[in-house]
Amino acid sequence: MTKRMLASAAVALLGLTGAGWAQDQSIIVQSTTSTANSGLYDYLLPIFTDESGITVNVVAVGTGQAIKNAENCDGDVLLVHAKPSEEQFIADGFGTERTDLMYNDFVIVGPEADPAGIGGMTDVEGALAKIAEAAAPFASRGDDSGTHQKEVALWEASGVDPMAASGEWYRETGSGMGATLNAGIGMGAYVLTDRATWISFENKQDYAVQVEGDDDLFNQYGVIPVSADKCPSVKSDAAQAFADWLISEAGQEAIAGYKVDDQQLFFPNAPDQ
């Protein structure tokens, strides 16, 4: 029997033979604003709860803050998208195991007027260099989220230090993805966003995707149960059941099944177990 099959069996066992135990269980998932803003959890969690009896409460913050919260033992599972930081979380002993879960991609959105002339580009570093050269407004989350960490890496690869123009054309919101999109649109600025949030975002106005398709815009998510060795209060069994379900065939099918306007937002890629 594969690990995925065992995971599904374990969840079934929690929901059936251990129903009384499971129904009293609730866990906290420290996660990203992008997954929350996309509506994924509203779709996914009732399916898991129906199968397991375990209630999942999501704290949606930037990846950096989510990791800090988990390190402070304020969560049972970590679900974020900044792999180097996730691997450090594991190395520091705070997580039991990190597993690839799903992916999508980042895009740069901007106004129809496109003042930097980047529309249709597939070279994200080149596009950022053009934004800087034109001193066109760019709204950054500036919050150490996974999206912000990706943005910082892309600026570095482009050879541009946007912080030199902080408060001028480069503007940091210190906010989540949806709030940054709203702020960026309000100021006519370009914004780096994950595609799932953009598809779900309702205040697009005259904005459209201007840059997409670069391999450097790949956006991987991972899931990590918090270690009881560091956090004795963690609900290890329920946390592991949730992580196991996400990477199981049923969980992966549920992730693939979530669509907005007939567009799939996340693409499951947990390794075969």
What is the token pair recorded at 252?
A: 């992966």
Q: Phi and psi (nearest 5°) for 99?
A: -130, 130
- Angle in degrees, CA 249, 255, 260, rounded to 5: 150
pTM across the whole model: 0.86
Residue pLDDT tens, the chain, 273 long: 444 444 444 444 444 334 444 445 899 999 998 898 899 999 999 999 999 999 999 999 989 999 999 999 999 999 999 999 999 999 999 999 999 999 999 999 999 999 999 999 999 999 999 999 999 999 999 998 999 999 999 999 999 999 999 999 999 999 999 999 999 999 999 999 999 999 999 999 999 999 999 999 999 999 999 999 999 999 999 999 999 999 999 999 999 999 999 999 999 999 985
The pLDDT, as a whole number, for residue 4 is 46
List 225's β-bridge partners, or say none. Answer: 77
The pLDDT, as a whole number, for residue 6 is 44
What is the token pair recorded at 123?
A: 């070279």
| CA distances to 12, 14, 51, 142, 224 from 4, in Å | 12, 15, 15, 38, 16
Report d(CA 189, CA 65) in Å as an integer.
Answer: 25
CB-based contacts of 206, cutoff 8 Å, min separation 6: 111, 112, 113
CB-based contacts of 18, cutoff 8 Å, min separation 6: none
* pLDDT tens digits along 30-55: 999 889 889 999 999 999 999 999 99
Q: Phi and psi (nearest 5°) for 28?
A: -110, 125
| CA distances to 31, 86, 182 from 173, in Å | 19, 24, 10
Fold matches, 3-103+220-268 and 104-217:
yes
**CATH among 3.40.50.300, 2.60.40.1180, 3.40.50.1170, 3.40.190.10 for 104-217:** 3.40.190.10
The pLDDT, as a whole number, for residue 85 is 94
Report d(CA 59, CA 47) in Å as an integer.
Answer: 19
> What is the CATH code of the structural domain delimited by 3-103+220-268?
3.40.190.10
Domain positions in the chain are 3-103+220-268, 104-217
The pLDDT, as a whole number, for residue 1 is 42
